[in-house]
Amino acid sequence: MYETLHANIPGSLMNYKDRPFPQHAWAYPSRQTIQDYIGDYAEDLRSHIKFNIQVESVELTQDAERDRWVLKAKSTVDDETIKETFDAVVVANGHYSVPFLPEVKNIEAFHKTHPDIIIHSKYYRTPEPFAGKRVVVVGNGPSGLDIARQITGVGAQTLISVRSPTPTDKLEHVGATEIAEIVDFLPDQQAIQLKDGSVQSGIDAIIYCTGFLFSYPFLPGLAPKLLTKGKGVFGLYKHLFLIQHPTLVFPGLLMKAVPFPLSEAQAAVVAAVWSNSLLLPPVEEQEKWERGLREERGENLHTFPTHGGDGLYINALHDWALEGSPAGLEAPFWNDESRWERSIFADAKVRFEQRGTQAKTLKELGFVYPGEGNW
């Protein structure tokens, strides 16, 4: 994470159901505030957590009655080996560790000739090293625009390479120049050729803000294959349960979503299913759902195709969990105001940045909920 990172989501929407962000938090919390928030939320669980552990494998073992999972791990402190067997496993290792760089003609030759020019946003920390340089930022998602704004602010000549145009107001806020997609690297000229045929030369740095790949090196033996090119996890029902072995779940896969309430809703469903208060549908029905998803989205299984899809998903999980026992923590539910907040938070983030990241509420930024049915 880079040092001046603020969330792209307001704290009033991204918090866990039973714990708001502290009153001192900005409307879009800083990375330190979020880190402290998660640490405080997990305090009661610390006695159950083993730190400094590298999971090496999770392997399925079956007997006549049920699936079980054999976990092998190693301490990163003293190399002590660990082997334990579990009835169920939650795979929550995150998906922001393996950078994705698109395949572009001559990119490897360019990197070999100019090893210090191309980086991924994973390794970006502060804007100062880019001051006065000619920089290409690849990608106009939240990270791309945020990094472009930061380096432009310290005097970089910033070019944003995109496949689809950036909204005018956001591009003006960033203060960068938009260029076409890179189709070829020209190592001898320290230049790039764009899809429109033009060439940009004298490039000092290229920052790829192109996302990450899913990676599960500790699950090598599962069949059918979980991953194809790292962009999606196949064989899951509702982006969560491994259909053939539902005691293995993968929460938090969904992209362009509000992660905390989404994962909280998923946890409520998993708890209901694993406690036998909620039944999964027949395997054939689950497979039919997954086939339909693959036909609709291809490899990008976990990206909602419509704005606000995460809210619909959260509410569907809420209703599904309630079909089981009422015991346990109820999943979050987005009311009309939450869905409105979801619809405006990108515009509100721009205003938050324009005002120096000082506002504590959306209302301070000029965004007031107009009432149900009025937006």
Query: What is the predicted pLDDT for the residue at 90?
Result: 98
The encoded tokens of residue 190 equal 């320290």
Query: What is the predicted pLDDT for the residue at 229?
Result: 80
Q: Please state, as a whole number, how many other Cβ atoms lie within 10 Å of the Cβ of residue 366.
A: 11
Domains of the chain and CATH, by start: 103-210 (3.50.50.60)
User: Quick check: 242 and 236 in contact, CB under 8 A?
Assistant: yes
Query: To which residue do tokens 């001192």 refer?
Result: 24
Query: What is the predicted pLDDT for the residue at 327?
Result: 80
- Give the Cα separation of 363 and 61 in Å (integer): 54
Say if strands 81-86 and 67-75 run parallel, antiparallel, or are unpaired.
Answer: antiparallel
User: Quick check: 280 and 237 in contact, CB under 8 A?
Assistant: yes
Query: What is the predicted pLDDT for the residue at 64?
Result: 73
Query: What is the predicted pLDDT for the residue at 353?
Result: 92
Write the secondary structure of the chain as one string of H (helix), E (strand) and C (coil): CCCCCECCCCHHHHCECCECCCCCCCCCCEHHHHHHHHHHHCHHHHHHCCCCEEEEEEEEEECCCCEEEEEEEEECCCCCEEEEEECCEECCCCCCCEECCCCCECHHHHHHHCCCCEEEHHHCCCCHHHCCCEEEEECCCHHHHHHHHHHHHCCCEEEEECCCCCCHHHHHHHCCEEECCEEEEEHHHCEEEECCCCEECCCCEEEECCCEECCCCCCCCCCCCCECCCCCECCEECCCEECCCCCEECCCCCECCCHHHHHHHHHHHHHHHHCCCCCCCCHHHHHHHHHHHHHHHCCCCCECCCCCHHHHHHHHHHHHHHCCCCCCCCCCCCCHHHHHHHHHHHHHHHHHHHCCCCCCCCHHHCCCCCCCCCC
Q: Please state, as a whole number, how many other Cβ atoms lie within 10 Å of the Cβ of residue 146.
A: 21
- Give the Cα separation of 169 and 136 in Å (integer): 20
Query: What is the predicted pLDDT for the residue at 2?
Result: 82
User: Nearest to residue 96, comparing CAs of 3, 174, 2, 163?
Assistant: 2
Query: What is the predicted pLDDT for the residue at 185?
Result: 99
- In angstroms and rounded to an integer, the radius of gyration of the C-alpha atoms of the chain is 23
What stretches in the chain show pLDDT beneath 70? none
- pTM for the model: 0.92
Query: What is the predicted pLDDT for the residue at 49?
Result: 95
- Give the Cα separation of 214 and 44 in Å (integer): 29
User: Nearest to residue 345, comparing CAs of 365, 326, 327?
Assistant: 365
Handedness of CA 350, 351, 357, 359 (dihedral sign): negative
